[in-house]
Amino acid sequence: MTGDSEDPSDGVQYHLAVGPGDVADTVLLPGNPERVEKVVEGWDDHDVVGDHREYRTATGTHEGAPLSVTSTGIGSPSAAIAVEELARVGAETLLRVGSCGAIREEASVGDLVITTAAVRQEGTSKEYVREDYPASADHRVVSALVAAAEELGYDYHLGVTCSTDSFYPGQSRPGFDGFEARGSEENLEELRQAGVLNFEMEAAAILTLASIYGLRAGAVCTVYANRVTGEFRTEGERKAAKCASLAVTYLERMDEAVEASDSDHWHAGLSIER
């Protein structure tokens, strides 16, 4: 933001410290700033273009496809700021890359969860749009993430995510000194019965804002904990990042296939052979 303008779209962004031309069309969104270096490990090249507060941004290429990564910190409020300011400097596709806790037995520690939609059990998106507005992932992004997971040979699950504002009572964990929020166990069981796969803290806001602003978005998370089996291990940390980075290559080829066809949208009849 320039010193003589109150327009948040003007110049370098206040929180992210990036400006027009600093980021690629597609941006990966981990939470932890320290995860940025792990995300770019497999890229062809990269440069850090912004580092302010919890927001660290790098831009480079992966298999020749341009992409960026911006850390968002923990939770939907800071993730929404990242979406706002990345959109202002030209980002068009956003891929949440993180970790999660599974609430169904089939999603084992180390597996990936690719989000198709999210339960909006967070407050940020409610400040943008009515509560019954869906938080849906872009179908092309979901397809690219699935293709990437298949190519990499990763075990993955496709389905609905629940995003919360609280890591402890909001995800039906006990708080300090054994505190239990009212209805937390009932909420957990209701989500399980509805087929919800996992808890995390950012996807719903990212998907909702992207839909409102006409952007594409999706999410892929590595399972660190399984609430049914009681397992917890920080295993497969780099899987989500590798899957998302490769998905960007698929997205680029999918977009090229659409442009070369008579179709307005991606569909299974269009070839994207690698």
The kind and range of the H/E element at 159 are strand 156-164
Point out which residues pair with 48 in neighbouring strands.
58
- Selected catalytic residue, list 46, 62, 227, 253: 227
Consecutive 10-residue runs of the chain (274 residues): their mean pLDDT? 58 97 98 96 97 98 96 98 98 98 96 98 98 97 98 98 96 94 93 97 98 98 94 91 97 94 90 71
> Known catalytic residue: 140?
no
Asked if 92 is an active-site residue, the reply is no
- Count how many domains the chain has: 1
* pLDDT on residue 10: 66
Listing DSSP states for 122-147 in one string gives: SSTGGGTS-TTS-EE--HHHHHHHHH
Asked if the structure places residue 11 within a domain, the reply is: no
Assess if residue 9 is contained within a domain: no
Residues 32-53 have pLDDT tens digits of: 999 999 999 999 999 999 999 9
Q: What is the pLDDT of residue 4?
A: 58
Query: For this structure, is 253 an active site residue?
Result: no
| 183 DSSP 8-state letter | T
Mean pLDDT over the full length of the chain: 94
Q: Cα-Cα-Cα-Cα dihedral of 79, 81, 84, 90, to 10°?
A: -80
| Residue 19 counted as domain residue | no
Whether residue 103 lies inside any domain: the answer is yes
Q: How much is the pTM?
A: 0.95
- 173 catalytic residue (yes or no): yes
CATH number at residue 255: 3.40.50.1580
Q: What is the pLDDT of residue 214?
A: 98
Range of 52's domain?
26-259
Asked if residue 130 is part of any domain, the answer here is yes
Catalytic residue, chosen from 173, 200, 202, 252, is: 173
Task: Kindly name the residue from 85, 122, 200, 252 that is annotated as catalytic.
Answer: 85
